[in-house]
Amino acid sequence: MIVITDEMTVEARKRWPDCITFDIVECLDCGFKGLIELGGENCPDCNEDHLQWEDENNQEFTI
């Protein structure tokens, strides 16, 4: 399972300043792993919508 780093949370807050809860996902296209805004469907790196849960049992992260 993924470890959420300070860098990931800083990046996520930059992209979605109003968001406090994030989905923990991975991208099947580019391999991105990390946080996206809750309910978001597109990869922040490649913008494709081929995201899946990084871990079925650990789907959300709250700052």
**Binding-site ranges for Zn ion (CB under 5 A):** 27, 29-30, 32, 43, 45-46
Residue found by looking up tokens 């700052």 in the block:
63
Distance CA 35, CA 27 (A): 11
Residue 4 or 43 having the CB closest to Zn ion: 43
Q: How far is the CB of 10 from Zn ion (least distance, A)?
A: 19
Q: How far is the CB of 59 from Zn ion (least distance, A)?
A: 18
Q: How far is the CB of 41 from Zn ion (least distance, A)?
A: 12
Amino acid, res. 13: R
Distance CA 45, CA 32 (A): 7
